[in-house]
Amino acid sequence: MKGSTITSTGPETISFLPHQLICIDNGGYISRIIDQTDPDYSSTRNAAKRQNQLISLNEDDFLLPGFIDLHVHAPQWPNAGLALDKPLNEWLNDYTFPLETKYKEVAFAKKVYNHLIRELVDNGTTSALYFGTIHNEANLELAKACIRHQQRGFIGQVTMDNPDQTPSYYRDASAKQAISHAETFIQQVVDLNRTADLKQTPVITPRFVPSCTPESLAGLGALAKKYDLPIQSHCSESDWENDYALTHYHKRDAEVLDQFGLLTDRAIMAHGTLLNQSDLDLFKERGVAIAHCPISNAYFGNAVLPVAKILAQQNKIGLGTDISGGYSPSLYRNIDQAIVSSRMLHDGVDQALPPAKRGTSINAITAKNGFYLATVGGAQSLHLKTGQIKVGYLADLQVVKAPYPTFTDQTPDDIFEKIIYHTTKNDIKQVFVQGKLAKEGHYETQR
C-alpha cells in the first residue's frame, strides 16, 4: 500500500508520515514500512505494481488504523436512537428486554446481525466486543456474521438469571443452566474457528451485577479462569447500579465483581462513570480496562467519566459505541462526544454559578486522546497487536478520504483533527482486517 499514514503513538501524540509503502505479509501482518527516502522504496513499489498488488492512495486519502469498539449490544441495533430519554431501568424493561427476547428466532438474529456488522465495518471498526443475548444459536449467528463481513469479533453469551431483576420471558432458567449455556457457546465458537480465517473469541458476559445471582457470578468467574477468556460486564454505570451493589452486597459494584473472580487483566467493564478512586485503583491493580461510552453516558451515565484523570493514572481505557444506549455506530462520533463531554466536565454546566465554582479541575481531552482510545487503548484492552500502523502489527486499516477540500494551508495536526471531527462512513473508502479487504473501495490497484 502506498500513501500517507496517521497513527497514534501515545495518548498525546500522533505520527503523520507522507509517502509510505506499507508491506503486508500473507498472515495479514505489517511486515515492513518503507519511507520514500529509503533506497528500497522504488524497487519495492515497482515489484508490487508488477504483481498487481500495489494499492495507491490519492493525495487527499489517509491510512489510519481500524477502530476497536469495546462495547456493543448487537441485539439492540433495531432500537438505536429510541427511548434515550428514559431512565436506565425503565429503558431496559420497556424497550431492551422485549427486543432481546426476539433473538430466540435465529432468522431474526441473522438478519439484524448481518446488517449491524456490515454497518460497523463500513464505519471503520475492525474489531468489536459484543454482548449477544441469552440464546446460543443467535450468538453463533453473530460470530458467523463477523466472519462473513471480515471483522474480528469478541462475542458474549449473556448471563442474566436473577428472577428479581429480569423479566420471566427473558432470563436464564437457573444459574446452572446459564453456566452450561455459556460453556456450550465457548465450545461452539471453538468449533466455528476451525474453518474460519478470522478467529472469533468467546467472552464471559454477566450482564451486570443486578441481573445475576451470586451463583451465576461465581460460575462465570470459574469459567473465565478455566478457559482463560476475556470477561465483559457493566460496572458503576449509574447511581441505580451502584446503589444496588451497596444494598444487596454491602460492597461497591467493582468489589462484588472482584469477589467472584471477574476482575482480571482480560476484563473490560463498560461505562464506569461512577467509579471512585478506590475502584480505579482496584482496576489498575487487576489490569481491568474501562470501555468509555460517551454518547450513552450522556443519557444514562448520571455523570461524566474523568478520562483525562484516568489516562494520567494509566488505567487501561478504550471506547465503545454502546449500541443502543448510544445511538451511533461510529467511533468517530464517540470520539467527538468524549471531547465535548470532557469540556463540559472541565468548564461546568450551571450558568448560575460563578466561573470559579462552575467546573472541575479535570482537563478536557483532545482529538489525539480520543484517537488513542479508539485504537491503542482498545487494542491494549483486548490484548491485540493492532491499533497502530507499525511493523509486526496486524494490518487492520481504514482508508479515509479527507472529508472536505483544503482551502488554506494545513499542518498535519490540522488535517488529523478535521478527519476526527468530520469523517462519516461515506468518507471511509476501504477497510482491511488482517490484510484482507473488508470494505470495498473504488480503488484501482497499480496507480
In whole angstroms, the minimum distance from the beta carbon of 89 to ligand XAN comes to 9
Q: Is 432 helix (H, G, I), strand (E, B) or coil?
A: strand
Shortest separation between residue 75's beta carbon and ligand XAN, angstroms: 9
Residue nearer to ligand XAN on the CB measure, 140 or 209: 209
Q: What is the dihedral of CA 175, 180, 186, 191, to 10 degrees?
A: -160
- Minimal distance, residue 98 CB to ligand XAN, in Å: 12
Q: How far is CA 319 from CA 181, 291, 295, in A?
A: 29, 5, 10
| SS3 (DSSP) at 201 | strand
Q: Closest approach of Cβ 237 to ligand XAN, in Å?
A: 6
Per the CB < 8 A criterion, the answer to whether 209 and 217 are in contact is: yes
Residue 240: CB minimum distance to ligand XAN, A: 10
CB of 133 to ligand XAN, least distance (A): 10
What secondary structure, in 3-state letters, does 293-330 show? CHHHHHHHCCCCCCHHHHHHCCCEEEECCCCCCCCCCC
Tell me the chain's radius of gyration from C-alpha atoms. Answer: 22
CB of 274 to ligand XAN, least distance (A): 13
Cell matching residue 367 = 482529538
In the chain, how many H helices and how many E strands? 17, 15
Nearer to ligand XAN, 198 or 274 (CB): 274
Which residues of the chain form contacts with ligand XAN (CB under 6 A)? 73, 92, 96, 207-208, 234, 237, 296, 300, 322, 325
- Between 171 and 401, CB nearer to ligand XAN: 171
| Closer of 139 and 296 to ligand XAN (Cβ) | 296
Phi, psi of 87 (to 5 degrees): -65, 155
Rounded CA separation 312/222 (Å): 33
Terminal C-alpha separation, the chain = 11
Alpha carbon of residue 426 to chain centroid? 20
Instruction: Tally Cβ neighbours within 10 Å of residue 105.
Output: 13
What residue is closest to ligand XAN based on CB? 325
For ligand XAN, the closer of residues 171 and 346 by Cβ is 171
Q: Which residues pair with 6 in a beta bridge?
A: 16
Q: Least CB distance from residue 142 to ligand XAN, whole Å?
A: 15
Q: Which is nearer to ligand XAN, 291 or 402 (CB)?
A: 291
* CA angle (381, 131, 231) in 5-degree steps: 40
Long-range CB contacts (< 8 A, 24+ apart) of 351-359?
none
Measured in whole angstroms, how far is the alpha carbon of residue 102 from the centre of its chain? 24
Q: 296 or 423, CB closer to ligand XAN?
A: 296
Closest approach of Cβ 164 to ligand XAN, in Å?
A: 14
Question: Between residues 16 and 327, which has the closer beta carbon with respect to ligand XAN?
Answer: 327
Nearer to ligand XAN, 300 or 332 (CB): 300
361, 372 contact by CB (below 8 A)? no
